[in-house]
Structure 1
Amino acid sequence: MDPKLTLKKEDYKRFKKCFKLSWALANRANLKQVQTWVSEQQLSVFFDLKDNIHGAKIDEDSFLNDEDEENNAVNILNENLYDLMLETAWPAGKGNDDFDTQKLINYHDDLNQLIDPEEIIEFYPGETIADGNEVGARAREYFTRDYKCFNLDHYSKKIAFAKTQEILQDQSYQVYFEPSFQYNNCITKCDILKRLDDGSFHLIEVKASTGKKYDKDYGAYIEKDLKIDHAYDIAYQYYVLTGCGLQISKISVMLLDPSYYRHGDINYDRLFILQDYFKQPLTRMEGVSLMTFAQQLTTGDITDPRLKNERAIELDLASIKLGYQKSLAEIYDLFVSASCWNQKPDDHFRYYGYCQHASALLPEHNSVFELYRGMGKKTLLLYEENIMMLKDIHLPFNFKRSATLKKTLQFNEPQTRQIKVLQDLDPIINPHRVDELLQIFCQYQYPIYMYDFETMKAAVPRFDYSYSYQQIPFQYSVHVLTDDNFDYQDESTMDHYAYLADGLEDPRLALATQLVADLTKNGVGVYVAYYKSFECKVLFELADYLNWKISTTDNISLKQQYQYLQTKLLEIRAKTIDLMDFF
C-alpha cells in the first residue's frame, strides 16, 4: 500500500454510495481524468459537483464555464467548487516545511499568522455553506459560555495533528474546536470534542440541519432519525479517534430545533438540540444510539438487527485504499461497469445492485437515464433489459425483474406519457380530463392577480418570531388581468406591481402592507400562483407573524392595522388557485 495515501471522511462517505463517486472526487487529478473521459465520449456521468459540496445548493451558472453551452455537461471540474467539497480541510500554513514539528508549533501559536489571504475564497459560496459556517460559529458560542475552549481551526495541516496532541494534554481546557487526528492512513477533523469529568471525551458533530419534524398525529415536534451520511461521518471519526487511543464515552450530533422561534438575542439552549440516536426507538423496536452504530462498525461485531446491512469500517477502508491504487485502465473498466463496486446490501434493495452515477457512453438525448424519476427502473432498463433509448421501449412493458418481486414493476403515468411522446412525436390528450380542465377555467374570474414570492431562509433565525429555515418573503411581483382585452405580447394591456425590500431589517411588515395594497387595487379577485402550496404557506406565516405583532402592542391603532392586514392575507390565501392544475 502506498504509505502516502491518506483517506478523509469524505472518501468513506462517498464510497458508501458508490466507489466511482469516491474515486472521482478524491482529488483534482481524478476529477480531471473523469472530465477527460466524458469530453472524449468514453463515459457518461450522472453526478454533479453541486450535489457533493458540503450539502450546498449552488447555482450551476455561477460556477460552470458557460462559454461553450454545448459542452456544459462535461464541465464537472471547477477549482472553487472542488475546494468547497472538502469538509476535512486545513488552511495553508506560512512556516518553512524544513522546521521540525515543535518549532512549527511555536512559530504558529499566533493564530493571526495562520490565515493565508490567497486561500480565501473570493466569491459567495452559496447560502447553505454560509448557513453551515454560521451554525458552526454559533455552536462554538454555545460552549464558550460555560467552558474554557481551545480553537484549532486555523492551524495548517502540517501543524494541526501535533498541536492537537499537545493541547489535549492541557487539562485546563474542557472543550476543543476542530482538533485533528490521524490513524491508519486516515485523517479527520472533529467539530467539537468535550472532555468529561472521568477523562473520557464527548464527540460532537455539528450539522446545519434540523433534528425534529412536526408530527400531525401527535400535534407536536418529535425527533427524527439521523441522516445516514451524518451517521457514517460520526462512525469514521470514532474509528480514527479510538484508534489514536482516546476513550469516547458519548457521541452526539448537534442539530437545530425547528420549534424554536427567536425573541431578542439568540437563546442557545433553545436553538440547538443534542441528538444521541441514529435510529429513534419504535413501538416494538429499541432505538439505535450513535454510540452503538459507531462501535459496531468500528469493531465489525454488528449485532443490532437495524444495522444488518452495514459493514465493518476497516473492510470499507481497505476496499477504498485498494481501489485508489488501481491503474487508470482498471479504474476505467470499473467506471463503465454496471456495478457501483461497493456491493452494499441495501443498494441491491434500492437500485437492484446497479450503479446510477456513471456508465459506458450513452446517447446525449433521450437515453433511458432521462426517464422521469425512477432510478431503479433506469438501471434495470440499461443493465437487465439492454435498452439504451426510451424510443426502444415497447409499451406495455414487462420488466424481467418483476418475476422476483412481490409487486409488478410498471411505468407510472408520467413515464408512460414521456415514452409515448418520444415514440410518436404527437401530443397526448386525455379526453377524460376535459371536464376537469373546464372546471379549472371556470375559477378564473376577473380581476385575475398572478403573484409570486422570492424568499430567503437562514439556519439561524435572523428576525424576531422566525424559526430555522423559515421562508421569509423579501420580494414579490404581481401581474393583473382586468378583462379580456389583454395581450401577453403587450405589457401595457396588463397591470404590473412589484416590491423589493431594502436593507437588512425584517422585511415582513412592510412587504405585507404593500402586498395587500397591490392585491386589492382592482378589487378582490382571483389569485393565481404556480405551486400554490408554497405561496399559501408564505401568506399563512405572514398572517401568523401579524398575529404575533398584535400580541406585542397595546396601541389600538396598530392592532387594527395588523388585524386588517391579517384578514386580507388570509382572504387572498383562501382565493388562491394553482396554475399547476393545468399540468
Structure 2
Amino acid sequence: MSNLITKVNKETFKMAMKECIKKAWIWDNKQNFAKAVKWKKDKIFELDIDGSLEDEKEFSKSAESIDLFSAYLNMDSMDEIEKEEFLEQWNNAWESETGFDPELFAGETIEDGNAFGSKVKEYFNMVNILANEKRKIKKQTADLEEYKFVEAEIKTKELLASNNYEYIYEAAFSFDEEKIRTRCDVLKIKENKHVEIIEAKATTKVKAEHFFDLMYQVYVLEKCGFIVDDICIAKINSDYIMNSDLVITEKTFGHQAKKFIANLGKITYEEIKDFVNSDFTVEYDKEPIEVDLMKLVQLDYLTYGTDKKRVTLKQDLKDFKENFNLDEIFMNISKYLAIGKEENEIPEFMHNKKCTLSFKKNKKLGWNYAMNYSNYDDCFHVMNWFDKNEPGFWHITGFPRANKSHVIRNSKSPYFKDYESIFEQSVVLDAKGQSFFEKNHTAKRLFEVYNLKKQYPNDETKWRVIDFDNIEFINEFLNTYKKFPIYMYDFETAKWAIPRFNLVNTYYQTPFQYSIDVIVDENYDYKKPETMHHYSFLSNQQETDPRIKFMENFIKDCFKHGPGIYVAYNKSFEQGVLRKLAMLFPKYAKPLAYIIQNTVDLMDFFKSDKNTGRPSFLIYHPNFKGSFSIKKTQPSLDPNFSYNDLVINKGDKASETFRKFVDGRIPQAAWDLKVQEGMLKYCDRDTLAMVVILKKVKELVEEQNG
C-alpha cells in the first residue's frame, strides 16, 4: 500500500462506503463543512446530508431527521442554555478521534451509546471473572478510555507485550503516520498476535454502517500486523424485559402486546364501568432496579440484512475483499478528501449525479458499487441548488429521495409552477419508459392543488383542498365525530437504551405526560376553552416510574364524561404505548383495551390506507408541503394558531427534557420553578391543535356543500 495523501478517519470511511463520498467530504472536517454552508447560502448547492432515522422503534414518534444546517445557522434563535448545550455537543463531535458522526445528534444517542458501552465492559469483566475460575493462569482486563489516543496507543502496546490481559477496552492502533487510526471497543487478546474485535452498539440489530465500522478496524489492525480471527457486534437484546418473567414468543415485544389485546376480545363499557368509576390506585413496583448483563448484552456474529441465512460478519468481509482491493479504496477516498483545499474551490466531484464510491450488497449478485445497481441519477446528498420550500417534486410524500433526485436532475424544473402537467414530455420517465407518477396518487393530488392555486391565487375555494373524488371517506370519518363525548388525547414519551425502570425493555417508549381535550357537544370552539373540558398529567418525580400515575390518571380522565370516541393523531403510536401497558399491568388491561379499541385516527384525513383503498390527502392545503405532520397540517388550516410562542415546541425536545430531569441533569427545583410549565403548555397545545383540525375540516366540508 502506498502512503495515503491525507488521513481517512473511521466515520468518514463509513459514510463514503455506505452513503456518498460527497457527504463524507463535507463532514470530514470543520473547514469543509463551513464551505458547504456557504454553498447553500450562496445558492450553489442544495444539501441533504444530515442524520437520518432508520428504525422507528428506537426513536420517539416525533423524532425527525435533525437538520444540522438549520440548527447551526439558527443558533441565534436558541436561548442561552440551548445554544451553550448545542455548541458543546457540536465542538465535542468535531474533536472526536474517529471523526464527526451526524447521527449522534439524533435524540439521546450519545448518552445511550456511552451507557451501553459501559455495560458491555461490565459484561466482559464478568466473562473474564468466570473464565478465571476455570484456568490456572489468571487474565486481566484493562480500560484505556481515559487516555488520549497517542497515550492509549503506547499503553496498548505495553499491555499486549505483558501477555497478562484477556480483554482491552478502547485499545488504540494507527498506521501510515496516523493517517488511519482506530480504537476497538473490546479487543480480545489471543496468542501470536491473533485477536477478536467486538464493537459495542446501542442498537437492537446489526446495520450496514456497523459492517463498515468493523471493516475499517480490521484493516487498521491487519496493517499493524495482527490476525483478526473474528468480529462481532455487541448489541442490546430487545427481548430482555427488566425484572420480568415475560417471555417474548412473537416476532417483537410490540407484536406480543398486540396479540395480548386481541386475545381479550371486544371489551364493553359494562365490563369496566364499576372499575373506571371507582377510586382505584395503581401501586408502585417496589422491586430494586437491577440490570441482568447476561440477558441485556447480545453478541451477534451475523452480518446485517433480513435474510434468514445471513452469513457471518467475518465471511461477509472475506467476500468483499475477494472482489475489491481495500488498499485502492482507502487511496481513492484519501484522494477525494485531499481535493478542495483552496478557499473558494468547489471540488468537481460535487457535481456527480450518482453517489460515487459507495457499496451495496445484492442478495444474488453480491457486493458491487451502489451506482451499478441503479439506473438513475440518484445522489440526493448534494444537488444543484433549488428552493425546497417551493412546491415541487421534492415535496411528494413517499417518493424515494433517490427518485426525486433523478427527476429533478433530468426534468426542466424542480417546481410545479413550471409545468402544465406532471405527465408532459419535459418530465423524465422511469427506467421502463413510463411516468414515475402514473400510479402515484399523492403526486397527482399535490400537483392538482398547486395548479389550481396558481390559476386562482386569491380564491381558496377553488383549490380543491377537499378531494371530492373520495368524499365518501371524508363523510364516513365526519360521521364518527358526531358521537359524543370525543376525547382528543396525546402522549409524550421518553426512552433509554438501558432499561430505566422495571418491566421495560430497551428503547421502551415510557409515557410520562398526556393531554386530553373533551368535546361534549357540537357547540365547541377551540378559541373558547370553556366550551370543552381539559385534563392533563405530567410526572414530576425523578426516581419513580412515571407510568404508574400516568396510567392511573389517564384511565380515570378518559371516562369522566362516560364512554366515548377516543381520538389520536397517528393512533398507532398511542395504541402501541397502551397495548404494552395493558400487557405489563394486566389488572388494568380491560379499560386500556377499551380505549385502544375505540380510538380513531385524526390523521386519516391526510394519510393513505392500502387496506381500505383510501388515498392520501383527502384534505390537502398547499402549505402542507407534502407533510402529514400536525406541525404542518394544523397551522395551514388555521395560521393564527401555532406552536411558535412555546418554549418547548417539539415532541423530541419534550422527551429529551424529561429524560434529563429523570437522570438528574435538571434539578427538581429548576423543574418545579420553570420547566414543567413549558412541558404542560406544549402537550396541551397538541390536543388543542387536533381540535382545530377537526373544526376546520368540518367547516371546509360544510362551506363546499353549502
TM-score normalised according to structure 2 size: 0.65
Q: Is 197-206 or 467-476 further displaced after alignment? A: 197-206
* Structure 2 partner of 1:37: 39
Equivalent residue in structure 2 for 1:433, among 470, 475, 483: 470
1:81 paired with 2:106, answer no
Within 5 A, what are the aligned runs for 1:103-502? 126-147=107-128, 148-184=140-176, 185-196=179-190, 200-211=194-205, 226-263=206-243, 264-279=289-304, 287-297=310-320, 300-302=321-323, 311-327=324-340, 328=342, 331-342=346-357, 344=359, 345-350=369-374, 352-363=376-387, 365-366=389-390, 367-372=392-397, 373-393=399-419, 394-396=421-423, 400-402=428-430, 404-405=431-432, 409-410=436-437, 412-425=440-453, 426-444=463-481, 445-502=483-540
Q: CA deviation at 1:85?
A: 6.2
Question: 1:529, 1:577 within 8 Å by CA — same for their partners in 2?
Answer: yes
Question: 2:185, 2:200 within 8 Å by CA — same for their partners in 1?
Answer: yes
Gaps of 5+ in 2: 78-85, 129-139, 244-288, 360-368, 454-462, 607-706
* Structure 1 partner of 2:26: 24
Q: State the one-letter code of the partner of 1:442.
A: N
Whole-angstrom distance in 2 between the partners of 1:540 and 1:379:
40
Gaps of 5+ in 1: 70-76, 91-122, 212-225, 303-310, 548-562
Question: 2:516, 2:536 within 8 Å by CA — same for their partners in 1?
Answer: yes
Q: State the one-letter code of the partner of 2:291.
A: I
Q: CA deviation at 1:437?
A: 1.8
Q: State the one-letter code of the partner of 2:48.
A: F
Whole-angstrom distance in 1 between the partners of 2:105 and 2:473:
46
Q: State the one-letter code of the partner of 1:84.
A: A
* Structure 1 partner of 2:609: none
Q: Deviations over 1:65-95 (max 9, x none)?
A: 53677xxxxxxx96733533676459xxxxx
Question: 1:236, 1:313 within 8 Å by CA — same for their partners in 2?
Answer: no
Whole-angstrom distance in 2 between the partners of 1:496 and 1:486:
12
Question: 1:235, 1:294 within 8 Å by CA — same for their partners in 2?
Answer: yes
Whole-angstrom distance in 2 between the partners of 1:335 and 1:187:
27
Question: 1:164, 1:180 within 8 Å by CA — same for their partners in 2?
Answer: yes
* Structure 2 partner of 1:555: none
Question: 1:176, 1:194 within 8 Å by CA — same for their partners in 2?
Answer: yes
Question: 2:112, 2:497 within 8 Å by CA — same for their partners in 1?
Answer: yes
Computed over aligned residues only, the root mean square deviation of the Cα atoms, in angstroms, reads 3.1
**Total equivalences in the alignment:** 500
Whole-angstrom distance in 2 between the partners of 1:407 and 1:196:
59
Aligned CA distance change for structure 1 residues 319 and 407 (closer, same or farther; 3 Å): same
1:191 match: secondary structure = strand
Q: CA deviation at 1:505?
A: 1.2
Whole-angstrom distance in 2 between the partners of 1:431 and 1:343:
45
Question: 1:458, 1:468 within 8 Å by CA — same for their partners in 2?
Answer: yes
Whole-angstrom distance in 2 between the partners of 1:488 and 1:478:
13
* Structure 2 partner of 1:554: none
Question: 1:160, 1:179 within 8 Å by CA — same for their partners in 2?
Answer: yes
Q: State the one-letter code of the partner of 1:360.
A: N
* Structure 1 partner of 2:602: 579
Q: Deviations over 1:489-542 (max 9, x none)?
A: 011111111111122211222211111111111111111111111111111111
Whole-angstrom distance in 2 between the partners of 1:58 and 1:387:
26
Q: CA deviation at 1:440?
A: 1.5
1:24 match: secondary structure = helix
Aligned CA distance change for structure 1 residues 421 and 431 (closer, same or farther; 3 Å): closer
Question: 1:540, 1:570 within 8 Å by CA — same for their partners in 2?
Answer: yes
Aligned CA distance change for structure 1 residues 57 and 408 (closer, same or farther; 3 Å): closer
Q: CA deviation at 1:408?
A: 6.2
Whole-angstrom distance in 2 between the partners of 1:201 and 1:318:
26
Equivalent residue in structure 2 for 1:569, among 588, 592, 595: 592
Whole-angstrom distance in 2 between the partners of 1:271 and 1:280:
22
Q: CA deviation at 1:363?
A: 3.2
2:187 match: secondary structure = strand
Q: State the one-letter code of the partner of 1:177.
A: Y
Whole-angstrom distance in 2 between the partners of 1:4 and 1:495:
68
1:460 match: secondary structure = coil
* Structure 2 partner of 1:551: none
* Structure 1 partner of 2:264: none
Question: 1:13, 1:229 within 8 Å by CA — same for their partners in 2?
Answer: yes
Question: 1:356, 1:379 within 8 Å by CA — same for their partners in 2?
Answer: yes
Question: 1:187, 1:240 within 8 Å by CA — same for their partners in 2?
Answer: yes
Whole-angstrom distance in 1 between the partners of 2:158 and 2:559:
68
Aligned CA distance change for structure 1 residues 351 and 275 (closer, same or farther; 3 Å): farther
Aligned CA distance change for structure 1 residues 313 and 458 (closer, same or farther; 3 Å): same
1:187 match: secondary structure = strand
Whole-angstrom distance in 1 between the partners of 2:516 and 2:526:
14
Aligned CA distance change for structure 1 residues 377 and 59 (closer, same or farther; 3 Å): closer
Aligned CA distance change for structure 1 residues 499 and 137 (closer, same or farther; 3 Å): same
2:202 match: secondary structure = strand
Q: Deviations over 1:99-145 (max 9, x none)?
A: xxxxxxxxxxxxxxxxxxxxxxxx99942221111111111110112
Question: 2:174, 2:180 within 8 Å by CA — same for their partners in 1?
Answer: yes
* Structure 2 partner of 1:117: none
Whole-angstrom distance in 2 between the partners of 1:433 and 1:330:
53
* Structure 2 partner of 1:101: none
Q: CA deviation at 1:406?
A: 9.0
1:188 match: secondary structure = strand
TM-score normalised according to structure 1 size: 0.78
Q: CA deviation at 1:396?
A: 2.8
Whole-angstrom distance in 2 between the partners of 1:253 and 1:44:
35
Q: Is 170-179 or 393-402 further displaced after alignment? A: 393-402
Q: CA deviation at 1:258?
A: 0.8
The sequence identity of aligned pairs, in percent, is 27
* Structure 2 partner of 1:553: none
Aligned CA distance change for structure 1 residues 64 and 330 (closer, same or farther; 3 Å): closer
Aligned CA distance change for structure 1 residues 124 and 505 (closer, same or farther; 3 Å): farther
Aligned CA distance change for structure 1 residues 353 and 528 (closer, same or farther; 3 Å): same
Whole-angstrom distance in 2 between the partners of 1:154 and 1:351:
48
Question: 2:428, 2:435 within 8 Å by CA — same for their partners in 1?
Answer: no
Q: State the one-letter code of the partner of 1:377.
A: N
Aligned CA distance change for structure 1 residues 351 and 458 (closer, same or farther; 3 Å): farther
Whole-angstrom distance in 2 between the partners of 1:336 and 1:535:
44
Question: 2:515, 2:537 within 8 Å by CA — same for their partners in 1?
Answer: yes
1:538 paired with 2:574, answer no
Whole-angstrom distance in 2 between the partners of 1:19 and 1:155:
31
* Structure 2 partner of 1:216: none
By relative contact order (CA 8 Å, sep 6+), the higher-ranking structure is 2
